Every structure is written in structure tokens, then in C-alpha cells.
Structure 1
């Protein structure tokens, strides 16, 4: 029943986006509140506690601002696109799985098991392709590929975090990119080259650092070789790359001609691509089981994400215009006038401090995106967006409370601090410095 509530909320939001009826917006907000309350009962203890605290704080702030019902409604409706994105994006995994791409990826990675550097490049490269579409599901799927063959902890911690964190900076299927570009009023077309360029640079730096690290800590003896990769699997990998390129290009084309919100375009693509696959392949019978699984297992499992996204988004919206937010904005503005490097480091430090306490990046980065004025800081919208997304990516990898860090630390069998700071601290520090230098040049 709760799955139908969440999916119905997503469907009505998409309808409301095009018809723009005020009463329908109130209905969607009402459904989102029920979805939040329903998720609260099923969420894990820590996300439930944190979500309730952030949602309560947001409501109290709106009440004290005097906006009350209207403010709460606007805050929830502003975060709803991201909830829809989070809910509908997993549908894209259905055509990928049914087309046999996952088996080919598994064959490729197992073929590289005896070559640590190539295996690392294979894992990070695969995540660069899959994570933009499948989000955290890409890490889970990749870990399943190895089956009973357990990767060394260092390999898991380094490859999973580096490969996944690149997508945080450029994929329109990620809440990070959609939220920041939405708040700063930037088209995905105008941003993608900057975001993807920095992501590829992060991937290259990660592979170089791993090669240097592996020389001092040989892993060859811990890994086992597999059979050569068959021609069929190589062809499937080429098709996968083409699929991702076509998918992203389609999003850009639709945005260019319609000027719709990229979040809405991505949500529509998440529905239309599986539907199109079913029509073209005539594989509706094969799709029945994955669709039922999506309804009965995938959507109900999003309790923690719905709790954290909705409450963090509400808190970020409520913080806008408060004395605390204005004080931070003034402080950062003064720093920006003195030194861009100090300003950028302060932004990173603020977000990292907040996320290390367990508060989601949406609250910290969202509040800054809504509060900061690029013109007053002496920088462009693109520059501020790139800085905020770079910060989001770094905090996702470092924070022991982020979904990525929690998942990877579980797979690697080490703590969240070891996974983030110890295994990837050098890489993230180098990318932070390179990113700040590039952004300062962009302006």
C-alpha cells in the first residue's frame, strides 16, 4: 500500500508540473507528508531520529518566521522532485539487467582479477558508467559480481568510493546535480562539460594514486585469474557505453527544445526507457517480475532515503533568510572578497563538519545554494555550482554517515573513517585542490 502511495505521489507531481493546478499541488504535498510518516515507522533508528529532528526543526523555523503552513508546503514541494528522482531512477536498471549487460560487466571484471591496476581501472570505469544511471545500486551490483571472491579491503574502499563519487559531480540522475543546478538556475547543457571534465580528472588521479600505492602494497597474490573475455561480452560493453551516451544526449536534447526542469526530464526518462524497451523487445512478460520487484521491494526499501531527503530539504528551505543563514552568507562573502581559496576551503569545511554530524548534504549544500549569491561573491553561477558539487562529492566519500560510505565500509569490512579518510583522504585532498584551482580560473 505504501508503494502505491509513493508512486502515486510521483505520478501526481509530474502531472502537476505540466498542468500547474494549485489544488493539485496541495494534494501532492499532503501525499508527501503521508509518505514521510509512513517511512518514519519503517526507517532505521538513526535515520528516523535524524529525520524527525530535521523535519521538526524546519517546521519550527517556518513557524517562527511567520510563514507556517505556506512555508512548509513550499519547502516540501521544492524537495519533491528529488524524491521522485530517487524513486523512479531504479526503473532504468530493468532494461540493463534484462539485456545481459550485467553479465558482461561481471565477466570483464573477473577477467582482470589477476591484474590489480587493470581491475581498479575496470571497477572505477564501470562505476563511472553505471553510477550516473543506477546510483548506489551500481555499487551493490558490482559487489555481487565478484560472488564468493572477496576483494581486498583496500581495493574495495578505494575503487568503490573513487568510481562512485565522480557521478555525484555530473549525473543529472543524481540528487546532487539536479538540486544545485535547480537552485542556481543553470541548465544541464551549460554545466555538463565542466562537471564531467572534473569527474574524469578525479578518475585519472585516482587510478594514478592507486598504481603508486599498489607498488608498495602488492595485491597480485590476493587475487585470482579468470578466463579470457569473450567477443560477445566485449560487444555488450560497447553497447552499454552507447546506451549511456544516448540516454544523456536525449536528456540534453529534450532540455534544449522544451526548457523543462532536468529533474522532470530524468523522471520521465526513467519511465519511458523501460516502457520503450518493453515495446521494442516485446519483452513485457520478462519485465513483469522486475516491475513487481520494483513495486514490492525497491520502493518500500527507500524509507531511510525518503526520511533524510525530505527532512533535510525542508530544513534547508526553512533556513533560507534566517539570521543564522544570513550570518554564514555574510561571513563567506567577506572571505570571498579577501581570497577565493579561503572562501572555497570554508565552504568545504562547513559542509564536511555538518555531514560528519550525520546531517545529509541536501541540508548543508541546499541551504548554501539557496542563500549564496554568485554575483556578490564575484564568481559565476557555474563556478559556484562546481564548488558545491565538488564539496558534495568529497563529503559523500568522507562522511561515515553517508549512504555510500556506510555501504562500502560494510563490503570492505572496515570502519567508515578508515574507508573515507584513511583509504581515500589523499585522493580527495588532491582533487579538492585541483578543483579549487580550476574553479578560480573559471571565475
Structure 2
């Protein structure tokens, strides 16, 4: 029942986006509140408590500002596109599963078992291509591929984190990119090349550091190579790469031809791709159990995400325009006028301190994105977007309470507190330095 409520909310939100009917907006708002309550009740203990705290604080702050119901409605509606995105994006995995693309990826990784550096490059490269459209599901799928290989915990932890975080800087299917671009009103088409550049930098630095780490910590396998990849798997790997490129091209084209929000475009594509795939009768039988699984398992287990995202979004909106937010904005503006590096360091310190104790990035980075104005800071919109997304990457990797950190910790057996600082601390420090230096040139 809750799945139908959430999916119905997403469908009506998209209709409302184009129809702009006032009564329908109220219906979607009520459904969103019911979805939050249902998700909060079923969420894990910490996300439930944190979500209720952030939502309550946001509602009280918004009400105290005198905006009343209208302000709360606006705050919820501002985060709803993101809720629809995380709900509908997993539909894109269905065509990939029915097409046998995951088996091709597994075959490639097994072939490099006795070559740790190539295997690591294969792991991070796979996540580089899969994460932009599958989000955290890509880490879960990759872990299923290589779980039987019994890799060292540190290697798995490094590979999962490095590969996944590359998508946080450029994929429109991610909350990070969609949220920051949405709040700063920057078209995805203007940002994508910068985001890809930042993403490739993360990938290259991660692989170079692993090569140095592996040199000091040799990994020896008695197993031999998995042999060559058959032509069918080779073709599927090529098609997988083309599939990702095609999706991004469609997103850019639609954004260029219309004035639609990129988040809405991504939601529409996430629904359309499985529908088109189902036009072939041979695919329908394969898709049926996957669609049922999406309805009965994938959507219901998003309790933590919906609870945290909606409450953090409400809190971020409520913070906008408050005396506290204005003081922080004035402080950061003053630092930016003195030095870009002082400003960047202050943003990093603020975000990392708040997210490390469990507050979601959406709350703090969303509040900064709504409060800060690039022209007042003496920098370009693109450079502000890149700085906020680099900060998002670092906070997601360091916070022991982030979804990424918790999942990698479970798969690798390394605690969330050690995962960010001990296992990947050097990598994160280097990309912070290189990233900030690169952004300063375009600021």
C-alpha cells in the first residue's frame, strides 16, 4: 500500500509540474506528508530520530517566520523532485538486468583476478559507468560480482568509495548534482563538462594512489586469469557504455529544447526507458518479476532515504532567510572577498563538521546553495556548484552515518569511522587540495 502511495505521489507531482493546478498541488502535498510519516515509522532508529528532529525543527522555524501553511507547502514541494528522482531512477536497472549486461561486467572483473591494479581499475571503472544511473545499487551489484573473490577489505573499501564518488560530481540522476544545480539555477548542459572533468580527476587520483598502496601491500593470488571475454560479453560491455552516453545525450537534448527541470527530465526518462524496453514481447516476461520486485521491495526499503531527504530538505528551506543563515552567509561572503581559499576552507569545515555527526548533506549544502549568491562572492556559478559538489563528495565519504559509508562498511567489514579517515583519508585529502586548486582557476 505504501508503495502505491509513494509511486502515486511521484506520478501526480510530474503531472502537477506540467499542469500547474492548485488543488492538485495540495493533493500531492498531503500525499508527501503521509509518505514521510509512513517512511519515518518504518525507518531505522537513527534515521527516524534524526528525520523527525529535522522535520520538526524545519516546521517550527518556517511557522515562526510567519509563512504558515504556504511556507511549509513550498518547502516540501522544493524537495519533492529529489524524492521522485531517488524513487524512479532504480527503474533504469531493469533493462540492464534483462539484457545480460551485468553478467558481462562480472566476466570482465573475473578476468583480472590475478592482476590487482587492473582489477581495481575495472572495479572503479564499472562504478564510473554504472553509478550515474543506478546510484547505490551499483555498489551492491558490484559487491555481488566480486564477493566470491575474497578481496582484501582495504581494496574493496577503496575501490567502492573511489568508483562511486565519481558520479556524485556530474550525474543528473544523483541528488547531489540535481539539488545543487536546481537551487543555483544552473543548466546541466553548461555544467556537465566541468563535472566530468572533476569526476575523471577523482578516478585517476584514486587509481594512482591504489597503485602506490598495492606496491607497499602486494596482493598475490594463486588463481590464474579468467581467460578472454567472449564476443557476446564484449558487445554487451560496448552497449552498456553507449547506453549511458545515450541517456546523458537525451537529457541534454531535452533540456536544450525545453525549459523543463533536469530532475523532471530524468524522472520521465527513468519511466520511459523500461516502457520502451517492454515493447519487445520477449522482454515482458523477464521484466515482470523485476517490476514486482521494484514495487514490493525497492520502493518500500527507501524508508531511510525518504525520511532523511524530505526532512533535510524542509530544514534547509526553513533556514533560508533566518538571522543565523544570514550571519553565516555574511561571514562566508567576507571570506570570499578576502581569499577564495579561505572561503573554500570555511565551506569545507562547516559542511564536514555538520555532516560528520549525522546531519544529511541536503540540509547543510542545500541551505548554502539557497543562501549564497555567486556574484556576491565574486565567483562564477559554475565554480560555486563545483565547490559544493566537491564538498558533498568529501562529506559523503567521511561521515560514518552517510548511506555510502554505511553500505561500504557492511560489505568490507571496516567500520564507518575508520573507512573515511584511515582507509581513504589520503585520497580524500589529495582530491580536496587538487579540486580546490582547480576550482580557483575558474572562480
TM-score of the two chains, using structure 2 as the length reference: 0.98
Q: CA offsets per residue over residues 107-151 of structure 1, 9 Å max, x none?
A: 111111111100110000000000000000000000001243322
Q: Does 1:228 align with 2:228?
A: yes
Q: Is the 8 A contact 1:39 1:303 kept in 2?
A: yes
Aligned to 1:64: 64
Q: CA offsets per residue over residues 83-123 of structure 1, 9 Å max, x none?
A: 00000000000000100000000111111111110011000
Aligned to 1:268: 268
Aligned to 2:171: 171
Aligned to 2:94: 94
- CA–CA distance in structure 1, aligned partners of residues 220 and 167 of structure 2: 28
Residue aligned with 2:379, SS: coil
Matches of residues 43-192 of structure 1 in structure 2 within 5 Å?
43-192=43-192
Cα 1:191–1:258 shift into 2, 3 Å: same
Stretches of structure 1 lacking an aligned partner (at least 5 in a row): none
Q: Does 1:247 align with 2:237?
A: no
- CA–CA distance in structure 1, aligned partners of residues 276 and 69 of structure 2: 41
Q: Is the 8 A contact 1:152 1:222 kept in 2?
A: no
Aligned to 1:414: 414
- CA–CA distance in structure 1, aligned partners of residues 131 and 223 of structure 2: 25
Residue aligned with 2:169, SS: coil
TM-score of the two chains, using structure 1 as the length reference: 0.98
- CA–CA distance in structure 1, aligned partners of residues 228 and 70 of structure 2: 62
Aligned to 2:306: 306
- CA–CA distance in structure 2, aligned partners of residues 316 and 414 of structure 1: 32
Q: Is the 8 A contact 2:113 2:221 kept in 1?
A: no
Q: Deviation at 1:222?
A: 8.1
Q: Deviation at 1:231?
A: 2.1
- CA–CA distance in structure 1, aligned partners of residues 22 and 404 of structure 2: 37
- CA–CA distance in structure 1, aligned partners of residues 421 and 250 of structure 2: 37
Q: Deviation at 1:430?
A: 1.1
Stretches of structure 2 lacking an aligned partner (at least 5 in a row): none
Q: Is the 8 A contact 1:109 1:122 kept in 2?
A: yes
Residue aligned with 2:400, SS: coil
Aligned to 1:259: 259
Q: Is the 8 A contact 2:166 2:200 kept in 1?
A: yes
Residue aligned with 1:321, SS: coil
- CA–CA distance in structure 1, aligned partners of residues 297 and 227 of structure 2: 35
Q: Deviation at 1:224?
A: 6.3
Q: Deviation at 1:227?
A: 3.2
Q: Deviation at 1:67?
A: 1.0
Of the structure 1 ranges 430-439 and 128-137, higher mean CA displacement relative to structure 2 is found in 430-439
Residue aligned with 1:151, SS: coil
RMSD: 1.1
Aligned to 1:194: 194
Q: Deviation at 1:225?
A: 4.0
Q: Deviation at 1:185?
A: 0.5
Q: Deviation at 1:260?
A: 0.6
The count of corresponding residues between Structure 1 and Structure 2 is 443
Q: Is the 8 A contact 1:383 1:442 kept in 2?
A: yes
